[in-house]
Amino acid sequence: MSAILTRDELAQALGRAGEGDRAAFRRVYEATSAKLLGVTLRILADRQLAEDVLQDTYLTVWRKAGSFDASRASPITWLVTIARNRAIDRLRSGAAMRKSTPIDEAVTVIADDAPSPAQALETGDDVRRLNDCLGQLDDKTGGAIRTAFMEGVTYDALAVRENVPLGTMKSWIRRGLMRLRTCLES
């Protein structure tokens, strides 16, 4: 069902898709659509909406594949960024009617824990390094950054959830981001 591509193979397939190669584009879809649906579903918590956004995402990928630059971005991260931004745009457009199912429950019910072909696409070292650096932040800062990424929520929503003033949340995250950058570049 799902093709397993290495990072280089995915980058190459994206490049060909950018030249109009539909077979290459289909390989990109098969190797990455489960990963990207995981991302959009986590943000939207509604399968129908998440799949609509997934469809939009790949149409955007098709149009923009020609601008993908393998020397500057990892292909899976480039794809995740598009999917995540599309899902957040949909979430904030008000079109997203959140169902009453709590997010965590919704995701655990449908998430498939089997190893994904897309996992082969992520450089293990990069992910480990990111996790190490996040781990060096205090728990609430690291947690806020993760939640913001996974669920696509703003400072306002994060502050309400953590029951801290908005300024405090901004300060946590800004300083956390700066430390994260220093750590990742060390």
Partner 1 sequence: MTDSTDIGGMDEDQALAGELALRVLSPEDEAAARAREAADPAFASHVDAWNERLGGLAHGIAPVEPSPWVWPRVEAGLTPPAAANDNTVVFWRRWAIGSTGLLAASLAAVVMLAMQPQPAPVAPVAPAPAVIRVATLTLESGAAAMTLAYDAGTGELYLAPTNEMAGDARVPHLWLVMPEGGVQLVGAIDGSSTSRHSLGQALSGPAGSANAVAVSMEAPGHTPAPNKPDGPVVAQGVFQRL
CB atoms within 10 A of CB 131: 12
* Alpha carbon distance 182, 68 (integer Å): 26
Tell whether residue 55 is a contact of partner 1 (CB under 8 A): yes
Kindly state the smallest distance separating residue 39's Cβ from partner 1, in Å.
6
Per CB under 8 A, the list member of 54, 86, 90, 137 interacting with partner 1 is 54
Question: In whole angstroms, how close is the CB of 160 to partner 1 at the nearest point?
Answer: 13
Tell me the one-letter amino acid at 24. A
Q: Which of residues 34, 70, 103, 120 is near partner 1 by CB under 8 A?
A: 34
Binding mask 145-174 for partner 1 (x = CB under 8 A): xx-xxx-xxxxx-x------------x-xx
Candidates 101, 102, 104, 130; binder of partner 1 (CB under 8 A) is: 130
- Cα 36 to Cα 57: distance, rounded to the nearest angstrom: 9
> The tokens of 164 are what?
């801290």
Do 39 and 84 form a contact (C-beta atoms < 8 A)?
yes
Please, are residues 85 and 78 in contact by the beta-carbon 8 Å criterion?
no
Question: Can residue 74 be called a binding residue for partner 1 (CB under 8 A)?
Answer: yes
